Structure 1
Amino acid sequence: MNTVHKRSLLAVWISVWMLSACGGSGSGDDSSTQVQSSSPSGEVSGSSSGSATVSDSTTDNTGDSSTGSDDSGSEAPELNTDTGTALTSDSTDGVLCDYFYNEFNDSASVQMTSNADWSCTGTTRQLTANGIPDHQTGTFPNPGNPNTISETAVSVSYTLTPEQSDTVSTLGGPRGATGYVLNGVKIDANTAGSCDDSGNSCSLVGNTGNWHIEALGQTSFDFGTDDNNAHVQPNGSYHYHGMPEGFIAMRGGSESSMTLIGWAADGFPIYARYGFSDAQDAGSALKVMTGSYQLVQNVSSSRPATSVYALGTFAQDWEYVAGSGDLDECNGRYGVTPEFPQGIYHYYATDTYPYFQRCVKGQL
């Protein structure tokens, strides 16, 4: 499988109601909890069981997959990983403006051609894709996710001249993808799962309860994600909730380099895991970037019992604490990168919450 970049340095889910017979109990002492499965953007998934195993992803994000076996250890294809350098300081033009991929994915649950075509025209960066991943995936359908990967038409336009603002725009689910990875697969880190205050009534669809279930980093609900922290919505859309490990490997991502993996809805770039220890010094050592979210210290009295659902199960269990990590509330920061030596605001996929940005800081 080969990815081709056509430019050089200057110039790249019926709510398939899965009454998931998740019917699991929220905990050992509450076997009456009924869980239906599906997720925010209409994703369906898994089961819930109080004693349970976690699958890490949904419309949210975490790491490994529970039910889908992942063959991502297969031999990596040869790639041209040249990304280019910004032509001017106020534009992303010149960076991956001619990224093109069109190869058959022989992963057992895919067996289709993955196509993604990014181009830059005037002041716009355009993506046309079919939503099929270009790397090995876990098994779909699986016990936690009953959906089959299929093509979904992707056509989006992002600005080439993004502007950072003081306004934070929350995206995901019906509000739209927070961005796309270069392979044309969308980023959607939240879920539509929720529980009522008692924790006795939980559903992985509808977001009708007050407590919003996280897809990753918890062990009570199974969303059937694979080792790429991704799974499939009812409409067949494969999407990421966290670090897209298979794609990063294909791009040659490692601790020795920053890896640009996609573009956010506001036009700013998204990197994976590593960034410069000094945001303004490209000569500084690379380090693993961490999000600035921490588990709440004062637990609401209306929250389902922590003895049943451990802290970290719900989105409300996390709070942004400026300075506690490397990044801001949207998992981004301003600084230099290999493609933008004069500095640019940019986002990160991280191993820590929120895993992928849930909001954007640029004008939309």
Structure 2
Amino acid sequence: MKIYKPMGIMMITVAVFIACKKDKQTTDSTATSTLTTPSIGANVPAVFKKIYNATDIYVEGDYVVIKTNSLPDHKSPYYQGTAWASTKYEAYNGTNPLWGQNPNKIAENDATFKIPLNPKVAATHTATPLGAMGVAVNGVAIFNQYAAMYSPLTNEANGFDQYGGHPQQQGVYHYHVEPYYITTNKGKDALVGFLLDGFPVYGPLENGKTITNADLDVYHGHTGVTADYPAGIYHYHITAADPYINGNGFYGTPGTVSQ
């Protein structure tokens, strides 16, 4: 599937630096698939079962625990030279004339997201971190609107592949912006994932309208009914402009992520 998204931005830079454990990329030359079927524990709410590319999902006290291997289920130029290249490598076929592939390759990296089962607005809002601030429904990490040292994404975005992601130095593939593979296959108004505070992230469309930053609060969300939450819930939206997924910190109290 080819997805063409222009990124009118300057030059490529190296990937985001985050502290992360050593690569765990497999050396098994027979590895061809990156799609996993999650083991789902008892009492997991139905909405979390939409996370289709995790290894484990279960409830632990007041938290939902989501374990992933960080491997995107879609193709990417960043699978070049990996154990999955025969089935997952795809040359860049987007429309960004300034595209430049960063030097990193996708690597398997176990991640555990522990997020509130019943999220609530925080009394004190905390900033989102560099590194994973949430998880997409395909098990890929969601990062905030900054490159290394809290720099704008202006240059780094030229290294985003045709599906809107790229790997950082340790090989952890992630999205800073709209994950086009998900929104194309699930719908522009579909659930995209969850941030660490437990509030859901939806695509750029709501009730047939394209959401802009002007429709959202400083945390890049608003409260309303969604297909998954008919009684209404605070939720984030992806937009085409900075900050793309999240704004001035988490709306709720974040859980944890370990990698």
Q: Same fold (TM over 0.5)?
A: yes
1:152 to 109, 115, 118: 109
- Distance in 1, matches of 2:156 and 2:119, equals 37
Give the C-alpha shift of residue 139 in structure 1. 4.2
3-state secondary structure, aligned to 2:47: coil
Does 2:235 match 1:363? no
SS at match of 1:263: strand
Aligned-pair identity (%)? 30
Write out per-residue CA displacement over residues 249-270 of structure 1, whole angstroms, 9 at most, x where no aligned residue: 232x04xxx3111111111111
State TM-score, norm by structure 1.
0.50
Residue 41 (str. 1) matches residue 18 (str. 2): yes
Correspondent of 2:137 among 171, 176, 182 = 182
Residue matched to 1:249: 184
Kindly indicate whether residue 166 of structure 2 is the aligned counterpart of residue 231 of structure 1.
yes
Is it true that 1:127 corresponds to 2:41 in the alignment? no
- Once the two structures are TM-superposed, the CA of residue 247 in structure 1 deviates from its matched residue by 1.7
Q: Deviation digits for residues 133-183 of structure 1, max 9, x if unmatched? A: 11222445694410110101111211111111353211121xx52211011
> What TM-score results when the alignment is normalised by the length of structure 2?
0.69
2:28 aligned residue: none
SS of the residue 1:98 aligns to: helix
Paired AA for residue 118 in structure 2:
T
Which letter does structure 2 place at the counterpart of 1:37?
V
Distance 1:36 1:338 in 2: 39
- Give 1:184's aligned amino acid: G
Q: Which structure has the highest strand share of the two?
A: 1
Does the 8 Å contact 2:70/2:140 carry over to 1? yes
Residue type of the alignment partner of 1:240: Y
Which 5+ residue runs of structure 2 have no aligned equivalent? 1-9, 21-34, 36-42, 81-98, 255-259
Q: Deviations over 1:174-224 (max 9, x none)?
A: xx522110111111124444xxxxxxxxxxxxx3xxxx5321xx4x56651
2:228 pairs with 1:346: no
Q: For each residue in 1:302-339, what CA deviation from the matched residue of structure 2 results, as whole angstroms up to 9, or x when unmatched?
A: xxxxxxxxxxxxxxxxxxxxxxx000111111111111
> Where has structure 1 moved over 6 Å in runs of 4 or more?
none
Contact in 2 for aligned 1:99/1:118 (Cα 8 Å): no
CA pair 93-331 structure 1, distance change in 2 beyond 3 A: farther
Describe the shift of the 1:363–1:221 C-alpha distance in structure 2 as closer, same or farther (beyond 3 A).
closer
What is the alpha-carbon distance in structure 2 between the residues aligned to residue 288 and residue 331 of structure 1? 14
Determine the C-alpha separation between the residues in 1 that align with 2:50 and 2:156: 37
Q: Secondary structure of the equivalent of 2:202? A: strand
Mapped to 2, the partners of 1:128 and 1:221 lie a distance apart of: 27
- Count of aligned pairs between the two proteins: 205
CA distance in 1, matches of 2:158, 2:129: 17
Decide whether aligned partners of structure 1 residues 136 and 149 sit closer, same or farther in structure 2, where only a CA change above 3 A counts: same
More helix by share: 2
**Larger Rg: 1 or 2?**
1
What does the per-residue CA deviation read over 1:96-140, in whole Å, with 9 as the maximum and x for residues that have no partner? 2334646xxxxxxxxxxxx44333355321101100011222445
- What corresponds to 1:271 in structure 2? 202
| Contact kept? 1:178, 1:357, Cα under 8 Å | no
Give 3-state SS (helix, strand or coil) of 1:361's partner.
Answer: coil
* Equivalent residue for 2:119, pick from 159, 162, 166: 162
Equivalent residue number for residue 87 of structure 2: none
Matches of 1:287 and 1:116, distance apart in 2: 34
